[in-house]
């Protein structure tokens, strides 16, 4: 194996000897100038992990050159600052003089690469600046009311309301009959020392946003509703839940709206999957007999199951949850509310309602507080729903000057292009592959899911990391994306996604006439069974990424722009805690542009639902965003199919659109490829 | 007042690759004649704009066994010669074939299941009998295609045959066989510019030089999707001229196979009287299909009826005349 960097004319000369000191072990080795730092470390007996096989792809062999001269190849794993500080990848760096090198102990490295799923409590940044006060619509207000007397015989409701106006400026308090029925007893049993649980009926848009966004048609202020009266001061905790109803996955955040903290999250596959994988098959199912009701019940059961799980884990009563904020695509929202989605599917594709009203939880069979309102994010049309409005909200793109491309990779891929002045959107069917659906060993991004994959280009042996470092059970979106990229770059699959069957490795095998790559063998890392990626899985992933790429290519062109005009890209989806941007580019899911212009924003739909829960201005902004978006129908654009076929290739049929991947392939090819069976 | 009119011409950045079929003794083969196609630097036959250095050529298609599903018009014309592949090949050359396209139909598991070794022997026999280059097609069953074409490639190393078909889901074995034995691969895509380009990339990624890949964009006969093929071929040629290196392969079209599958050429009874004479109609069907494909940019036409071949070759003469 020739691991040397290109060094002049290749003539062998008597090289200078250089002493390399490795810290903290203090081992010293003398090597000729030009030796790869990684080789020097190995000769010195210092172990450095190289999951990718020394190709500079994984960045795990990072060391700190404290002093001395090195020659290094550029790498995207180090920033200019880090290079200036002396950081280097051992496999991409040559010894040029005597050196002192600090090698981080292995534990520190695994800590650095450990995903942060433990950090459940929100380190979520609101896309809001400090120029206004962000207040949740659900609030708990403590008042010590002076009880009635012959002199002051004001009725209970007005008495409470009077103090709420005086102390908190709550306008126009209203209450439903069930609240009034128990009010007299509630205030007296607490001796008039009570906490009022209130919720705004109408969202409010801050003046500043109104000015920024132009005429939005969103109400500025409305009445406030009294949901319950609790004894004493309970203002420390006002529970609400944010729910993302995905076609494939349902996610619930349990939130304390008093301090905007996410207390816990839970997710599960949407039980409607048993009635079809995508929205179209769900709509078809809804038209048969009691289908609509059945689908409504399935998703309600899924949500209720997650609520139970959260309640149990956090020692709370479901009754203490006073608001539910929901984001879902148009079909999911229809099915959840029991609206007939029939005309969503039939031309000219019309939903029943884009902005559903706030609904009583009790009316939907959700066992949180019976007065709690369920508020669904407004949609734009049949194929761009509240999940995307929520995504645009949480990404903050509706307030930026920068031309932003927002991509939500779900069962339906939705794409939004624009900035604070204009927004255009389209949707394409991507399939559930990146959520682990339709993939043999795919799974959601939960502990035990393989989320990072590296494949050694010479041995073709994989290195996997799971969420929570638990024994692997399956592969989640980011793992699938990583595996696809690694299999492609290491030459296990060709550019068409077909597995090479002539490679000399036991990792590639044929089962049921389909070629598969064994990512984890039973027993490895404590796995109970083999975890594989089949050629059929790869096809599904290719189709998913092809649809997304084609979608945004057509969208960008439709407004007369090119990808080079796009100043930032935000990618959302249920991939897992993080995805490697460079891998998403290598497989052609994302456009080839400088990585710092691309940001993974996680499950932006759930985040948007969360923002709307903890900030009533955000709830108003959802409506403004929905009204602002222009919808582009891809099926009316005949260039989509052509773009799609072009994108069904790794990374793309036109390699000129992916220059960095072209260079990487060239570099890998020069280093030689894995052994072929004799 | 006299006015000078200048013909507007396009300046193209690229051109079609040149590919030579067949190798003479000096080149390591046994052919007495070779065929070079490609090299076009313009849309078809725009002589005022760019070069068309090589004329399109016609290969006559023969089978290694008597065809069972050919139109009676074809069978009547060829007569007994279809039972002897060597005699058939010689006859085809006499009738003007620039190359022979030999389909090893007898190797198909559902026909005679002829072994790869025996099939390779048939190819050797035909090579010995004629001096023109050969295009060899497998029986049309993917696994058997691979076995047969590997045997043929090895037995005829150095002859620079064209071997096909490499398709999206089955290209590696045939392309590897071409690589090892100095042959040319025929890459067929299903009437799709992008898939054609992808297939070219995949095959060239294996290491087969681009001057040894022919592309077959898949042909529809007149009345059976010819216009789709036409526009795909036009787009491929435009891409090639614009400098896309992965679409600059010369094109080969199986005009005869498609034209003689059409009801109009295959069936003589129970059709409207207005359709006219059956034989004349069949030949016209193949002729019009082939001629349209030439105008779309085909470099090699694989045809079946010698009377159609004669008309098409005359048309080619006129098209290449400046």
Q: Which of A88, A80, A112, A116 is closest to A596 using CA atoms?
A: A80
Report helix, strand or coil for B63.
strand
Residue A639 touches partner B, C-beta closer than 8 Å: no
pLDDT for residue A211 is more than 80: no
Residue A649 touches partner B, C-beta closer than 8 Å: yes
Element (H, E) at A261: strand A261-269
CA distance to partner chain A, nearest, from residue B143 (Å): 13
Q: Which residues contact A521 (CB under 8 A, 6 or more apart)?
A: A527, A530
How far is the C-alpha of A203 from the C-alpha of A663, rounded, in Å? Answer: 51
Region A415-426: mean pLDDT is 94
Note the pLDDT tens digit of each residue in A593-648: 998 899 888 889 999 999 999 988 888 889 999 999 999 988 777 789 999 999 99
Region A98-106: mean pLDDT is 82
Residue among B172, B194, B205 whose CB faces A642 most closely: B194
Per the listing, tokens 């059970």 go with A473
Q: Which residues contact A346 (CB under 8 A, 6 or more apart)?
A: none
CA distance to partner chain A, nearest, from residue B228 (Å): 14
Residue among B169, B172, B194 whose CB faces A645 most closely: B194
Q: Which residues contact B21 (CB under 8 A, 6 or more apart)?
A: B34, B35, B36, B37, B99, B133, B135, B160, B161, B162, B184, B300
Note the pLDDT tens digit of each residue in A446-495: 889 999 999 998 899 999 999 888 999 999 999 999 999 999 999 999 99
B interface test, pick of A497, A502, A550, A653 with most B CB neighbours within 10 Å: A653
Q: What's the CA angle centered on A124, arms A336 and A219, to 5 degrees? A: 55
Going by pLDDT thresholds of 50, 70 and 90, the confidence category of residue A116 is very low
Note the pLDDT tens digit of each residue in A522-545: 999 999 999 999 999 999 999 999
CA-based end-to-end distance of chain A: 19
Tokens for A579, please give them.
């995805």
CA-nearest residue to B172 within chain A is A500
Residue among A494, A498, A646 whose CB faces B194 most closely: A646
pLDDT for residue B4 is more than 90: no
Q: Which residue has the higher pLDDT, B26 or A274?
A: B26
pLDDT for residue A207 is more than 70: no
Residue B290 CB coordination number (10 Å): 33
pLDDT number for residue A14: 61
Region B220-247: mean pLDDT is 95
Average pLDDT over chain B reads: 96
Q: Do B198 and A642 touch (CB under 8 A)?
A: no
Q: Is the CB of residue B228 less than 8 Å from the CB of residue B269?
A: no
pLDDT for residue A556 is more than 80: yes
pLDDT number for residue A218: 56
Domains observed in chain B? 53-320 (3.20.20.20)
Q: Is the CB of residue A287 less than 8 Å from the CB of residue A145?
A: no
Residue A648 touches partner B, C-beta closer than 8 Å: yes
How many cross-chain Cβ pairs, A to B, lie less than 8 Å apart? 29
A interface test, pick of B175, B193, B198, B207 with most A CB neighbours within 10 Å: B198
pLDDT number for residue A131: 41
pLDDT for residue A10 is more than 60: no
Partner B, chain A 303-332, Cβ-Cβ below 8 Å = none
Domains observed in chain A? 17-113 (3.10.20.30), 137-237 (3.10.20.880), 396-431+550-656 (3.30.420), 434-541 (no CATH)
Q: Do A498 and B205 touch (CB under 8 A)?
A: no
**φ/ψ of residue A425, rounded to 5:** -140, 155
Region B223-242: mean pLDDT is 96
Region A234-249: mean pLDDT is 94
Least confident of A64-68, A101-105, A204-208, B270-274: A204-208
Residue B55 vs residues A288, B45, B213, B233, B243: alpha-carbon distances, Å: 63, 10, 18, 17, 22
Interface of B with A (CB under 8 A): 168-169, 172, 192-195, 197-198, 201-202, 205, 244
Supply the DSSP string of A433-461, one letter for each residue: GGGTTTSTTB--SSTTEEEEEEE-TTT--
pLDDT number for residue A81: 81
Pairing verdict, β B300-303 and B57-63: parallel
Residue among A496, A653, A654 whose CB faces B168 most closely: A496
Q: Do A495 and B194 touch (CB under 8 A)?
A: no
Region A440-448: mean pLDDT is 88
Q: Is B238 exposed, middle or buried (0-12, 13-18, 19+ CB in 10 A)?
A: middle
pLDDT number for residue A206: 63
CA distance to partner chain B, nearest, from residue A553 (Å): 16
Residue A340 touches partner B, C-beta closer than 8 Å: no
Region A281-296: mean pLDDT is 93
How far is the C-alpha of B159 from the C-alpha of B132, rounded, in Å? Answer: 11
Region A404-433: mean pLDDT is 91
B interface test, pick of A493, A496, A538, A638 with most B CB neighbours within 10 Å: A496
Average pLDDT over chain A reads: 87
Region B90-118: mean pLDDT is 97
Q: Is the CB of residue B103 less than 8 Å from the CB of residue B64?
A: yes
Q: Is the CB of residue A436 less than 8 Å from the CB of residue A443?
A: yes
pLDDT for residue B18 is more than 70: yes
Q: Do B194 and A648 touch (CB under 8 A)?
A: yes
Region A83-90: mean pLDDT is 87
Q: Which residue has the higher pLDDT, A44 or B152?
A: B152
Distance of CA A9 to the CA centre of its chain: 48
pLDDT for residue A115 is more than 70: no
Q: Do A502 and B172 touch (CB under 8 A)?
A: yes
pLDDT for residue A2 is more than 50: no
Taking contacts as CB-CB distances below 8 angstroms, the residues of chain A near B192 are: 645
Element (H, E) at B10: none
Tokens for B71, please give them.
């139109």
Residue A645 touches partner B, C-beta closer than 8 Å: yes
Q: Do B201 and A648 touch (CB under 8 A)?
A: no
Tokens for B118, please give them.
């025996």
* DSSP state at residue A474: E
- Compute the CA torsion angle A132, A138, A143, A148 (nearest 10 deg): 130
Residue B39 vs residues A94, A282, A601, B213, B291: alpha-carbon distances, Å: 47, 54, 51, 14, 20
Q: Do A642 and B169 touch (CB under 8 A)?
A: no
Percent of chain A past pLDDT 90, that is, above it, reads 58
Q: Do B194 and A498 touch (CB under 8 A)?
A: no
pLDDT number for residue B274: 93
Q: Do B192 and A645 touch (CB under 8 A)?
A: yes
Residue A500 touches partner B, C-beta closer than 8 Å: yes
pLDDT number for residue A634: 85
Report helix, strand or coil for A374.
strand
Per the listing, tokens 């404590």 go with A526
How far is the C-alpha of A167 from the C-alpha of B102, rounded, in Å? Answer: 95
Residue A539 touches partner B, C-beta closer than 8 Å: no
Partner B, chain A 439-498, Cβ-Cβ below 8 Å = 494-496, 498
pLDDT number for residue A379: 94
pLDDT number for residue A390: 95
Going by pLDDT thresholds of 50, 70 and 90, the confidence category of residue A674 is low
Residue A69 vs residues A20, A73, A112, B50: alpha-carbon distances, Å: 11, 13, 27, 57
- Which pTM was predicted? 0.81
Note the pLDDT tens digit of each residue in B151-201: 999 999 999 999 999 999 899 999 999 999 999 999 999 999 999 999 999
Residue A416 vs residues A393, A423, A549, A587, B52: alpha-carbon distances, Å: 11, 7, 13, 21, 47
CA-nearest residue to A656 within chain B is B244
Going by pLDDT thresholds of 50, 70 and 90, the confidence category of residue A144 is very high
Q: Which residue has the higher pLDDT, A655 or A672?
A: A655
Report helix, strand or coil for A511.
strand
- B69-103 core/surface letters (b: 16 or more CB in 10 A; e: else): ebbebbeebbeebbeebeebbbbbbeeebbbbbbb
pLDDT number for residue A77: 73
Q: Do A653 and B201 touch (CB under 8 A)?
A: yes
Going by pLDDT thresholds of 50, 70 and 90, the confidence category of residue A117 is very low
Residue B135 CB coordination number (10 Å): 25
Going by pLDDT thresholds of 50, 70 and 90, the confidence category of residue B57 is very high
């Amino acid at each position: 194996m020739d691991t040397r960097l290109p060094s002049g004319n290749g003539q062998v000369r008597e090289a200078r000897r250089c002493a390399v000191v490795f810290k903290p072990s203090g081992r010293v080795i003398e090597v000729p100038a030009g030796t790869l730092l990684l080789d020097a470390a190995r000769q010195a007996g210092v172990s450095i992990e190289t999951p990718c096989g020394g190709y500079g792809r994984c960045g795990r062999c990072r060391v700190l050159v404290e002093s001395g001269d090195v020659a290094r190849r550029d790498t995207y794993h180090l920033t200019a600052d880090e290079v200036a500080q002396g950081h280097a990848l051992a496999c991409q760096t040559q010894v040029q003089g005597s050196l002192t090198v600090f090698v981080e102990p292995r534990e520190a490295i695994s800590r650095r690469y450990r995903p942060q799923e433990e950090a459940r409590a929100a380190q979520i940044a609101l896309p809001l600046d400090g120029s206004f006060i962000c207040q949740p619509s659900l609030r708990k207000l403590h008042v010590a009311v002076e009880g009635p007397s012959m002199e002051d015989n004001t009725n209970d409701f007005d008495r409470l309301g009077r103090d709420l106006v005086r102390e908190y400026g709550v306008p126009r308090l209203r209450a439903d009959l069930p609240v009034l029925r128990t009010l007299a007893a509630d205030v007296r049993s607490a001796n008039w020392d009570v906490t009022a649980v209130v919720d705004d009926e109408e969202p409010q848009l801050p003046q500043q946003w109104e000015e920024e966004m132009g005429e939005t048609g969103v109400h500025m202020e409305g009445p406030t509703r009294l949901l319950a009266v609790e004894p004493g001061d309970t203002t420390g905790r006002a529970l609400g839940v944010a729910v993302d109803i995905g076609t494939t996955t349902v996610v619930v955040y349990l939130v304390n709206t008093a301090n905007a903290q996410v207390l816990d999250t839970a997710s599960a596959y949407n039980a409607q999957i048993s009635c079809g994988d995508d929205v179209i098959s769900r709509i078809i199912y809804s038209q048969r007999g009691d289908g609509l009701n059945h689908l409504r019940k399935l998703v309600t059961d899924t949500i209720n199951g997650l609520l139970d799980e959260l309640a149990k884990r956090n020692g709370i009563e479901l009754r203490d949850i006073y608001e539910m904020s929901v984001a879902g695509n148009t079909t999911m929202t229809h099915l959840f509310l029991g609206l007939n989605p029939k005309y969503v599917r039939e031309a000219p594709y019309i939903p029943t309602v884009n902005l559903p009203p706030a609904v009583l939880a009790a009316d939907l069979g959700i066992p949180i507080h019976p007065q709690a309102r369920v508020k669904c994010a407004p949609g734009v049309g049949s194929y761009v729903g509240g999940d995307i409005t929520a995504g645009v909200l949480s990404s903050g793109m509706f307030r930026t000057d920068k031309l932003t491309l927002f991509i939500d990779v779900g069962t339906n891929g939705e794409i939004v292009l624009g900035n604070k002045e204009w927004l255009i959107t389209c949707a394409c069917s991507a399939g559930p592959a990146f959520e682990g659906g339709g993939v043999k060993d795919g799974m959601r991004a939960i502990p035990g899911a393989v989320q990072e994959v590296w494949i050694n280009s010479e041995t073709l042996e994989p290195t996997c990391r799971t969420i929570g470092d638990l024994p692997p059970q399956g592969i989640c979106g980011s793992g699938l994306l990583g595996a696809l990229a690694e299999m492609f770059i290491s030459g296990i699959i060709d550019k068409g996604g077909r597995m090479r069957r002539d490679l000399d490795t036991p990792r590639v095998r044929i089962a049921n006439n389909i070629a598969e790559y064994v990512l984890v063998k039973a027993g490895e890392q404590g796995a109970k069974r083999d975890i594989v990626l089949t050629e059929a899985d790869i096809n599904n992933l290719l189709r998913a990424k092809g649809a997304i790429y084609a979608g945004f290519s057509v969208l960008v062109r439709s407004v007369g722009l090119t990808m080079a005009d796009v100043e930032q890209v935000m990618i959302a989806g249920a991939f897992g805690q993080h995805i490697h941007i460079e891998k998403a580019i290598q497989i052609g899911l994302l456009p080839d542009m400088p990585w710092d212009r691309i940001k993974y924003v996680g499950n932006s739909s759930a985040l948007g639902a969360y923002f709307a829960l903890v900030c009533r201005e955000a709830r108003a902004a959802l409506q403004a965003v929905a009204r602002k978006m222009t919808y582009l129908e891809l099926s009316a654009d005949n260039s989509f199919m052509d773009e799609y076929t072009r994108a069904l290739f790794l990374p793309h049929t036109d390699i000129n659109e992916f220059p960095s991947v072209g260079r990487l392939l060239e570099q890998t090819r020069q280093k030689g490829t894995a052994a072929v069976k004799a | 007042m006299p006015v000078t009119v200048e013909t507007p011409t396009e300046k193209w950045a690229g051109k079609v690759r040149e590919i030579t079929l067949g190798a003479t003794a000096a080149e390591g083969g046994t052919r007495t004649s070779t065929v070079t196609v490609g090299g076009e630097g313009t849309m078809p036959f725009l002589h005022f704009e760019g070069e068309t250095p090589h004329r399109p050529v016609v290969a006559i298609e023969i089978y290694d066994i008597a065809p069972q599903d050919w139109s009676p018009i074809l069978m009547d014309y060829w007569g007994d010669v279809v039972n002897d592949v060597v005699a058939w090949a010689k006859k085809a050359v006499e009738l003007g074939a620039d190359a022979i396209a030999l389909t090893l139909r007898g190797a198909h598991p559902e026909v005679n299941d002829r072994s790869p070794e025996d099939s390779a022997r048939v190819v050797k026999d035909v090579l010995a009998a004629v001096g023109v280059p050969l295009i060899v097609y497998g029986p049309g069953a993917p696994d058997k295609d691979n076995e047969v074409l590997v045997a043929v490639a090895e037995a005829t190393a150095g002859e620079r045959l064209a071997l096909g078909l490499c398709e999206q889901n089955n290209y590696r074995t045939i392309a590897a066989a071409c690589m090892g034995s100095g042959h040319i691969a025929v890459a067929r895509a299903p009437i799709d510019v992008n898939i054609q380009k992808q297939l070219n990339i995949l095959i060239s990624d294996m290491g087969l030089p681009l001057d040894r890949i022919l592309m077959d964009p898949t042909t529809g006969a007149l009345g059976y999707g010819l216009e789709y093929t036409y526009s795909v071929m036009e787009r491929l040629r435009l891409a090639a001229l614009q400098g896309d290196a992965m679409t600059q392969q010369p094109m080969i079209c199986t005009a005869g196979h498609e034209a003689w599958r059409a009801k109009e050429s295959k069936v003589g009874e129970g059709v409207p009287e207005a359709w006219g004479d059956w034989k004349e109609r069949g030949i016209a069907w193949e002729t019009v299909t082939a001629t349209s494909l030439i105008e779309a940019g085909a470099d090699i036409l694989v045809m079946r009826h010698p009377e159609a071949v004669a008309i098409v070759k005359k048309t080619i003469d006129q098209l290449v005349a400046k």
